[in-house]
Structure 1
């Protein structure tokens, strides 16, 4: 299912600047009963059992339109003992999923004009930068206070201290959207940037080059009110950053990583309520998760297209044979008032979103159709 979805995504990206957003979500399916059924541990403490979904999504870097699924491996942890983290290679760790997702994106999206991988702190892995595909750049939020080369050959510096010492290069205003535990607000961000040479980790990476060079963009919110946790991102990127405009571009691309949060929200409480599925056999549940991983992309595309702002073709979510069916249904659903008419042009994804929303129970008058309506 994931491979078929990837084939469709590959057909949509030709000539486009594509952002690859990947992240992992834990699907909590229960406690003792789920354990007895064979589900592995998720969450902290091991009391909860379930599956892990690692989604790799393709997004248009210009419009923010969701283009499709690149990969969606689903994993059931064994729960057995593992060797010490330092004694294992990346290939022996769960963190290998980040490298696999990046490698898969380089293959699936090869027809794109450019490919940029964006991921959060869990993907801050030295090998991730070293082994990235030649046709792909990375933007990763730093997690490790890595060792770096300095001008003094006898000293080894630390990444975070070096970044803190860089001069501020400018400030700009942004809208900071609401998030769990945080209200939306206007903010001012201060920016620093530079070039750093990361040193190879001391453990589990002896076959890798001793250093690799990346740019670092440091972003700090200067306007947070008392009680609000200010934004602070240290972004590592394989792009060259030599100006404030370059840095702002990297920051803007990284902010689009939020699509992954929306995606998992759609899979869970906002759309499919996947964690409420009562399926005792893990292998069957894995197949359901894969099917929903594909369907959630279409639901998100419809929600984002409902206002006509993504300017996407209907064919980015439907087959050509679906178009006359959607047009016939639209004609049947339209009413006499202006608000009961489909306002979007035929052949657009917005046109299809209006039809699907109406079939899902939306009247055309109140609020805007969300993921639950589109899923219905």
Structure 2
């Protein structure tokens, strides 16, 4: 066994070299994608929206362009001309302009994945509009005092290219108070929050030929109904278990509690993980055991209408136990229980499952982007229906901001020339006159863009985040607009 302070194993988990699809160049096993400017990106994402009138689709593109130019501002701040603002309000007031209608083209492009391995990472976040008391149709949040809606998003992540592909699907729903003295049978008959995990799986659908999709869920999806949706989807899954005391069947068909299965699980290996100090907890090096078992989930005694009619009698899967041993006294040991449809026979197989689940932070970071970068909770419209369409637009715009963080991180050797718009390199040369722009790689270009936004680039600073890269992009965009007005750059879509 090879120990590393970071908990990583040398050599055994290097990514497989994928077959390069036509139209893309491969550098060290990673596809090199061309970066497009905002105008091209907006047209690509929204020009095919079906809003029942060509003018509405054109107006949506205008609103999207204004939003992308200043994502943190309100609609009045983004549409500074009264005629543009009035047109935006009218657009979101149309019944044809819905959350699904705005997002559908983006979803479809995201789902058309090239051959490869992809993570479909889902989670739910609250969209709080408590401060907008005039907005009607909102649901409750938290303990019932908050007002807003829940957004359940599914992000597609390309494992080979290490890039966000886009949002593969999403649903908005409203929380309401449960009826007083509601029985368990009555509860199962109504739509519950746990249902949306499975419904988004159905919305995303099966993968195209040659693509492997792996749904990555947190503990909110740990219910038999979600596993029924997953089993019928044609996709794989990794779900963190929440109900550790549920009854399951072990590999011999005996009924046991899930938490007791670990005693008979096969130990595959161990690794060490350095943990930083936290309030009340000292830094330590944790020894983690990784073991695996096979279990079968059977339907619960109380079944929802979907479980009764779906035809799934049982779901077999592997359980990967990630358990800290010999933890210091008074410290809660690390413990992950991951349920997966993937084959797990070796330590490397288990490590891949753990590594895939660790990518779940991407959906949390994405929700931060749409909240802090796009101010999704600050927008105010009169009705929840209007807000739904606006939130759909913001959720797609958020992908553009978020993907800037990962662009170029895997392309250390790919030259920026020919991969990013030539107008971008011209602006960077003006803004950084002492920089040799022509020799930059894609990776170096985005680091320099981050420096325009405040990234210092010291050895201890790591990589620039989406906020510094976006601030740098905003400075570059201001110069682009000025150059366009003075005729130095043609007023056309540049790519």
TM-score relative to the length of structure 1: 0.80
| CA deviations over 1:1-28 (Å, ceiling 9, x no partner) | 22111122134x2111111101100112
| CA deviations over 1:202-230 (Å, ceiling 9, x no partner) | 10144454432111111013376666543
Farther off after superposition, 196-205 or 366-375: 366-375
Report the 3-state secondary structure (helix = DSSP H, G, I; strand = E; otherwise coil) of the residue aligned with 2:406: helix
Aligned to 1:194: 293
Change in 2 beyond 3 A, CA 1:213/1:41 = same
Given that residues 266 and 300 in structure 1 are in contact (C-alpha distance below 8 angstroms), is that contact kept between their aligned partners in structure 2? yes
Report the 3-state secondary structure (helix = DSSP H, G, I; strand = E; otherwise coil) of the residue aligned with 2:261: helix
In 1, the alpha carbon distance for the partners of 2:275 and 2:153 equals 24
Given that residues 194 and 242 in structure 1 are in contact (C-alpha distance below 8 angstroms), is that contact kept between their aligned partners in structure 2? no
Spell out the pairing of 1:75-90 with structure 2 (5 A cutoff): 75-79=173-177, 81=179, 83-89=182-188
Q: Within the alignment, does 1:294 sit opposite 2:396 as a pair?
A: yes
Aligned residues: 356
| CA deviations over 1:226-255 (Å, ceiling 9, x no partner) | 665432111111122222222111111111
In 2, the alpha carbon distance for the partners of 1:165 and 1:152 equals 11
| CA deviations over 1:95-151 (Å, ceiling 9, x no partner) | 2211122223334x4245211111011111213223324531111111123212358
Deviation at 1:77, TM superposition (A): 3.4
In 2, the alpha carbon distance for the partners of 1:210 and 1:267 equals 40
Aligned to 1:372: 467
In 1, the alpha carbon distance for the partners of 2:258 and 2:368 equals 34
Aligned to 2:165: 67
Aligned to 1:113: 211
Aligned to 1:123: 221
In 2, the alpha carbon distance for the partners of 1:241 and 1:294 equals 35
Report the 3-state secondary structure (helix = DSSP H, G, I; strand = E; otherwise coil) of the residue aligned with 1:277: coil
Change in 2 beyond 3 A, CA 1:20/1:179 = farther
Report the 3-state secondary structure (helix = DSSP H, G, I; strand = E; otherwise coil) of the residue aligned with 2:129: strand
In 2, the alpha carbon distance for the partners of 1:341 and 1:88 equals 62
Given that residues 40 and 77 in structure 1 are in contact (C-alpha distance below 8 angstroms), is that contact kept between their aligned partners in structure 2? yes
Return 5+ residue gaps in structure 2 as ranges.
1-101, 475-495
Which structure has more relative contact order (CA 8 Å, sep 6+)? It is 2
Given that residues 308 and 344 in structure 1 are in contact (C-alpha distance below 8 angstroms), is that contact kept between their aligned partners in structure 2? no
In 2, the alpha carbon distance for the partners of 1:18 and 1:285 equals 31
Farther off after superposition, 74-83 or 58-67: 74-83
Deviation at 1:267, TM superposition (A): 1.6
In 2, the alpha carbon distance for the partners of 1:305 and 1:266 equals 16
Deviation at 1:332, TM superposition (A): 3.0
Task: From 39, 44, 50, give the equivalent of 2:138.
Answer: 39
| CA deviations over 1:152-171 (Å, ceiling 9, x no partner) | 87x63211112244353320
Report the 3-state secondary structure (helix = DSSP H, G, I; strand = E; otherwise coil) of the residue aligned with 1:162: helix
Task: From 74, 78, 102, give the equivalent of 2:201.
Answer: 102
| CA deviations over 1:258-309 (Å, ceiling 9, x no partner) | 111111121223x223223344432222222211211111111101225455
